[in-house]
Structure 1
Amino acid sequence: MHTILIICSAILVILTLLLAFWTSITRARTKTIAYDAATDPAGPMLKAQRAHGNSAEYAGVLIGLFLLTGLVYAGRDLGLTVTILVIAITTARILHAIGFLVCVTLERPHPLKAVGALVTYLGGLALALIVLVKVL
């Protein structure tokens, strides 16, 4: 398996676990124990919950895509395009999470969230298409 795919997969797991830990810390700090209690879009609890939830929603899909990429490129170099896509997607997930945590309110788009989402969607789609074309 390619090292870059393993590293980026591990980073996605670490990001999700750190956001889970941050959510727990925020839950204790704000004394918001009930899961549906956080309703303030400008509050730290809802921001932490959404950052973690969104990370968890995408981590599995992206790790699966990275693993498929590794299988398709087994014994071959990933090439610059695939390597850049994998790193860009991983970086985008980090930026997206930061955008959730630093935004003024979840009701207004934050540039980091927007860039992170766009790179995730377009980069993930491009990588999936490259993998699909490679096996056909």
Structure 2
Amino acid sequence: MPPKLAEIVEEFASAPRDVVLEMLLEFADSVPPLPAALADRAGMEQVPECQTVFFLRAEVAPDRTVTTWFDCPPEAPTTRAFAGILAEGLAGASADEVLAVPDDLYQRMGLAEAISPLRVRGGTAILARLKRQVREQIA
């Protein structure tokens, strides 16, 4: 797992439950805006498992560094938080590091005790689709 993502996981796992939702909101506010080339979501994949409209795209550079983009409305702070966590935690990560992220990432963070199982399932689907895009590009 990329070091920055491991640090985020540890921060959430060790935080008191009443602080976890506040931490999620901070990550919801940290989702970078889409570049102009993706403004119409062309080339992005929708994640239908999410309760809200959510799109993502992963791009693997020749040096195997992964760049991620996420699009989710501001009115969906929990789902945006998943995007913010992945955007920050995977920034500069290699394809191998992205693929090594555990599928139960959000459970390891302790989010299953703080948010609904449906939301955790949506976050897990986001990670799964992101990893699939990376696998497809390095194959």
The answer to whether the superposition gives a TM-score over 0.5 is: no
TM-score per shorter chain, which class?
Answer: 0.3 to 0.5
Task: Tell me the TM-score normalized by structure 1.
Answer: 0.36
Structure whose residues are more often strand by fraction? 2
Structure whose residues are more often helix by fraction? 1
The structure number with the bigger radius of gyration is 1
